[in-house]
Amino acid sequence: MNTATILIATNNPGKQRELAALLAAYPVRPVRPSELGITLEVDEDGQTYAENARRKAIAFARASGLIALADDSGLEISVLDGWPGPRSARWAGPAATDADRRALVLARLAGVPDQDRRARFVCHAVLANPHGILAEAEGTLAGRIATSEQGQGGFGYDAIFVPDGYPCTLASLPEEVKNRLSHRAQAISRLRDALRRLACPDSTPSSDPTS
């Protein structure tokens, strides 16, 4: 069986770890940008997850000459009309840390009762080669925002997000559990046909949807 090399097109170490674990189910060899000496900051000023994810996947594919897998993701809080959404990484300014963003979200929801703390994660994943997009898919995970931080695992907003059906935050769950239910896991599973095709290059679509 052939093993295609896929560049994990993100600078976020938490996402890198999860994407590598999720790709283990497929006949591909994941590499991180640092392993190839690639440092790339892609402008993420698109209005949608899809736009940003496409930009990242194509930019990393072109920088490496490889197939790249990117995702753009975010947290959407119902009572705040879906805020912060596609700006989830940037709304608090360039110097803010994950911990700063979690604290600010909790502060904005201070006094909001449990039933009004509904939220969801969205992940839009894109697989691209240097010529264009091969496949894309989206996944979501519904839950609510906790009233305080809980758990040491995961990254980003995991310590304040309680997925439906669980009594604790994503950061309290083992990584294998998050990787079975997460928005990212669902998006990658919807790319399964494209990922399997990479082991059979002759069947990879040759059309370039971006040209």
Q: How far, in Å, CA of 112 to CA of 110, rounded? A: 6
Smallest separation, CB 1 to ligand ITT (Å): 29
With vertex at residue 128, the alpha carbon angle to CA 76 and CA 90, rounded to the nearest 5 degrees, is: 30
Smallest separation, CB 158 to ligand ITT (Å): 4
Residue nearest to ligand ITT (CB): 156
Q: Which is nearer to ligand ITT, 87 or 196 (CB)?
A: 87
Q: Which is nearer to ligand ITT, 97 or 115 (CB)?
A: 97
Among the options 45, 72, 98, 114, which is catalytic? 72
Q: Which residues bind ligand ITT (CB under 6 A)?
A: 10-12, 15, 44, 56, 72-75, 88-89, 98, 121, 154-158, 182, 184
Q: Which is nearer to ligand ITT, 173 or 195 (CB)?
A: 173
The closest alpha carbon to 154, from 167, 144, 168, belongs to 168
Q: Which residues of 96-108 are buried (b: 16+ CB within 10 A; e: fewer)?
A: eebeebbeebbee
- Tell me, yes or no, if 164 is annotated catalytic: no
Q: Give me the helices (H) in 24-146, please.
A: 49-64, 98-108
Q: Which residues are catalytic?
A: 72
